[in-house]
């Protein structure tokens, strides 16, 4: 009797050129990101020194604060014999928000090396150098992160639409095709790339959302001085945990489909595309 239909089948899924796709993607990211950075650098050079574009990410700090504020700092946060403090007023320009001023207090603890903890208190101030009890939304990070992701996605789409290939896919003999066997048009290619880089967009949005919450346990300046005098050092454990969580979510978005849908990613499945050998 013939039992071939009942014989166990292999559960191994085809890799769908996983390593070639990964290498091509890494090569494309390096090339496109370098091109974007070079273009932005040369564009910024065409503007005058005082232009808004040229100053969109500038940061300048000057040591020294008004006497009244210096006395307030000394009273609320007196130094110990093994400590050294610098007080600075920093000015930063955020795209679309103009200039923002910060008070930055840095206390070094002897022996003043890279191992000894350093306490840094940064808080916004008004035009008269009075500390403000408010948060500063990170609009510049949101705009720059979104713009960079959009440029990357647009570049990938331009090089993937209508039968074209990115530099990395050409090197590793790959191409993107639609369900009809032809290359996707620009609209489909752009949708695919936006979905591909959606974790980056979510990261920019999440960083902006985090900036809306207070950085310190209290926004009262005198209370903060007392806390830092008592040895308080802000922890970055939450920030590290957030990036780890994002990395896991991004890897799940990009890699899990290779195990579930025989190598077809989420964005390929949604856009009815696949990556094949050229």
CA distance 145 to 152: 11
CA distance 107 to 87: 9
At residue 11, the pLDDT reads: 37
CA distance 207 to 275: 32
- Tell the residue number behind the tokens 């290619």, with chain if given: 189
End-to-end CA distance of the chain: 44
Q: Helices (DSSP H) in 77-213: which residue ranges?
A: 139-160, 167-171, 186-196, 198-211
Closest C-alpha among 259, 255, 214, 261 to residue 238: 214
Beta-bridged to residue 91, according to DSSP, are: 60, 101
Q: By the 8 A CB rule, do 138 and 208 touch?
A: yes
At residue 134, the pLDDT reads: 79
Q: Note the pTM of the prediction, 2 decimals.
A: 0.71
CA distance 263 to 255: 9
- SS3 at position 146: helix
For each successive 10 residues of the chain (278 residues), what is the average pLDDT? 42 60 89 84 63 54 89 92 90 68 88 73 88 81 87 91 90 89 91 91 88 86 91 78 82 74 79 86
Phi, psi at 239, each rounded to 5°: -65, -45
CA distance 222 to 231: 15
CA distance 53 to 93: 10
At residue 157, the pLDDT reads: 93
CA distance 70 to 25: 53
């Amino acid at each position: 009797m013939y039992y071939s239909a009942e014989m166990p089948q292999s559960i191994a899924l085809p890799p769908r050129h996983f390593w070639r796709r990964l290498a091509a993607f890494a090569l494309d990211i390096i090339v496109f990101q370098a091109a974007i950075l070079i273009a932005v650098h040369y564009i910024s050079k065409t503007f005058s020194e005082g232009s808004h574009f040229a100053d969109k990410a500038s940061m300048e700090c000057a040591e020294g604060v008004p006497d009244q504020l210096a006395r307030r700092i000394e009273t609320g946060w007196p130094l110990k014999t093994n400590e050294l403090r610098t007080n600075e007023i920093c000015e930063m320009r955020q795209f679309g928000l103009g200039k923002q001023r910060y008070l930055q207090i840095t206390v070094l603890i002897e022996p003043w090396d890279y191992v000894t903890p350093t306490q840094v208190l940064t808080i916004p101030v008004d035009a008269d150098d009075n500390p403000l009890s408010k948060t500063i939304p990170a609009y510049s990070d949101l705009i720059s992160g979104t713009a960079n992701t959009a440029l990357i996605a647009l570049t990938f789409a331009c090089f993937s639409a209508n039968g074209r290939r990115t530099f990395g896919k050409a090197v590793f003999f790959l191409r993107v095709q639609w369900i009809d066997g032809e290359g996707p048009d620009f609209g489909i290619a752009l949708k695919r790339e936006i979905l591909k880089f959606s974790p980056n967009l979510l990261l920019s949005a999440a960083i902006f959302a985090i900036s809306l919450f207070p950085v310190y346990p209290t926004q009262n300046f005198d209370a903060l001085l007392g806390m830092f005098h008592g040895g308080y050092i802000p922890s970055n454990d939450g920030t590290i945990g957030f990036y780890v969580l994002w990395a896991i979510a991004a890897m799940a978005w990009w890699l899990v489909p290779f195990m579930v849908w025989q190598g077809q990613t989420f964005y390929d499945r949604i856009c009815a595309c696949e990556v094949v050998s050229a």
